[in-house]
């Protein structure tokens, strides 16, 4: 299509050639402007005169609003499910903390009425409402922070339980006597040069240097759980005192009790010697709690006091 433009401003007539693509673009632009105008009119009617809308338009708008509400409810439900899962984990942590707190109160000798874990703590104060409602994201953030605090409190309570258990263990070991009446300690608990190799090695007990045949007594009452020869310890006895506490007596020349026998505190159970991995007559004494060697000085000092 050729369009000829004639005007007094031009010295001569001008010709414009319109191709099919130009016409199609013009038609699409016209249709777009028409639709935009129609939507603008419909929006103005729906905004200011909704009663003037047709039944079909009202149904379409209602469908759009319903779909929007469904999406909103879906996202809200997903957020609530996430919060419910977090609350479930926090409730489980609170149950564990309540049980741990009850054990600690019992270990510490706290009266139940002074530190009750069965109910919420007493609270109060003036009502100061928030300036604005908390959002779902804000609530999720607060739940995450609270979960982190619960984990921190759980770790600290476990550490406190360990400390209280050790204190309780020390108290249980007060009723003891020294396994050797008269003697001096030649080697204490801890790292030392090994008497055979000269290399630094851990010494898990204390050594009492006394003449051969000196009486070895049970440090506390208990049951003999080992009585025999050991390659390293020589003639050795182990006495179980309950509460995971075991005492060990090594390098004896003679063993005077057998496995399963009940011994009392201060009762003679063996005689000093130099059997096993030993450089001379002495008695090696160990205290073990749950199989782990402890410093016997705590037991010996409490016996002396």
Residue 119 binned pLDDT confidence (cut-offs 50, 70, 90):
low
Structure token pair of residue 1: 């299509």
Using only the alpha carbons of the chain, give its radius of gyration. 44
The pLDDT of 60-89, averaged and rounded, is: 71
Q: Which of 219, 228, 218 is nearest to 252 (CA)?
A: 228
Clarify whether residues 100 and 201 are in a common domain.
Answer: no
Structure token pair of residue 131: 């300036």
pLDDT greater than 90 at residue 224? yes
Q: What is the pLDDT of residues 129-178, one digit of tens each?
A: 655 555 667 667 777 777 777 777 777 777 767 767 666 666 555 467 88
Clarify whether residues 110 and 148 are in a common domain.
Answer: yes
Q: Which of 219, 255, 266 is nearest to 240 (CA)?
A: 219
Clarify whether residues 188 and 294 are in a common domain.
Answer: yes
Q: Is residue 128 part of a domain?
A: no
Clarify whether residues 9 and 89 are in a common domain.
Answer: no
Clarify whether residues 222 and 165 are in a common domain.
Answer: no
Clarify whether residues 145 and 234 are in a common domain.
Answer: no
End-to-end distance of the chain based on CA atoms, in angstroms?
120
Clarify whether residues 246 and 191 are in a common domain.
Answer: yes
Domain holding 111, by residue range, is: 82-116+138-172
Cβ proximity of 272 and 252 under 8 Å: yes
Q: Up-side HSE of residue 68: CA atoms within 13 Å toward CB? A: 6
pLDDT of 111 reads 59
Q: Which of 169, 156, 174, 161 is nearest to 108 (CA)?
A: 161
Kindly report the CATH number assigned to the domain that includes residue 250: 2.70.70.10
Q: Is residue 59 part of a domain?
A: no
pLDDT of 3 reads 56
Beta bridge partners of 169: none
The pLDDT of 58-87, averaged and rounded, is: 71
Q: Is residue 192 part of a domain?
A: yes
Clarify whether residues 95 and 33 are in a common domain.
Answer: no
Q: What is the pLDDT of residues 237-288, one digit of tens each?
A: 999 988 888 999 999 999 999 999 999 999 999 999 999 999 999 999 999 9
Q: Is residue 18 part of a domain?
A: yes
Clarify whether residues 191 and 165 are in a common domain.
Answer: no
How many other CB atoms are found less than 10 A from the CB of residue 4? Answer: 8
Q: Which of 180, 184, 183, 302 is nearest to 245 (CA)?
A: 302
Q: Is residue 58 part of a domain?
A: no
Q: Is residue 94 part of a domain?
A: yes
CA 237 to chain centroid: 40
Q: Is residue 204 part of a domain?
A: yes
| Count of domains observed in the chain | 3
Q: Is residue 237 part of a domain?
A: yes
């Amino acid at each position: 299509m050729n369009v000829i433009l004639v005007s007094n401003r031009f010295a001569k007539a001008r010709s414009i050639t319109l191709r099919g693509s130009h016409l199609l673009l013009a038609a699409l632009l016209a249709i777009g402007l028409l639709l935009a105008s129609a939507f603008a009119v419909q929006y103005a009617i729906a905004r200011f005169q909704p009663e003037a809308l047709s039944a079909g338009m009202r149904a379409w708008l209602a469908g759009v609003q319903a779909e929007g509400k469904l999406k909103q409810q879906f996202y809200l439900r997903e957020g609530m499910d996430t919060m419910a899962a977090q609350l479930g984990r926090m409730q489980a942590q609170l149950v564990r903390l309540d049980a741990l707190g009850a054990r600690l109160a019992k270990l510490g000798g706290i009266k139940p009425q002074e530190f009750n874990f069965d109910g919420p703590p007493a609270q109060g104060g003036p009502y100061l409402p928030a300036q604005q409602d908390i959002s779902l994201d804000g609530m999720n953030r607060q739940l995450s922070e609270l979960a982190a605090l619960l984990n921190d409190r759980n770790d600290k309570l476990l550490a406190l339980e360990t400390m209280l258990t050790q204190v309780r263990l020390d108290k249980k070991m007060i009723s003891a006597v020294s396994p050797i009446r008269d003697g001096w300690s030649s080697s204490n608990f801890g790292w030392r040069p090994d008497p055979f190799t000269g290399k630094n090695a851990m010494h898990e007990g204390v050594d009492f240097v006394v003449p051969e045949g000196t009486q070895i007594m049970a440090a506390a009452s208990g049951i003999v759980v080992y009585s025999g020869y050991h390659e390293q310890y020589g003639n050795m006895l182990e006495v179980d005192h309950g509460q995971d506490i075991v005492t060990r007596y090594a390098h004896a020349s003679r063993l005077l009790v057998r496995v399963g026998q009940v011994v009392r505190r201060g009762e003679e159970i063996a005689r000093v010697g130099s059997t096993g991995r030993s450089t001379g007559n002495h008695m090696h004494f160990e205290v073990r709690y749950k199989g782990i060697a402890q410093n016997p000085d705590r037991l010996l000092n409490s016996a002396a006091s």
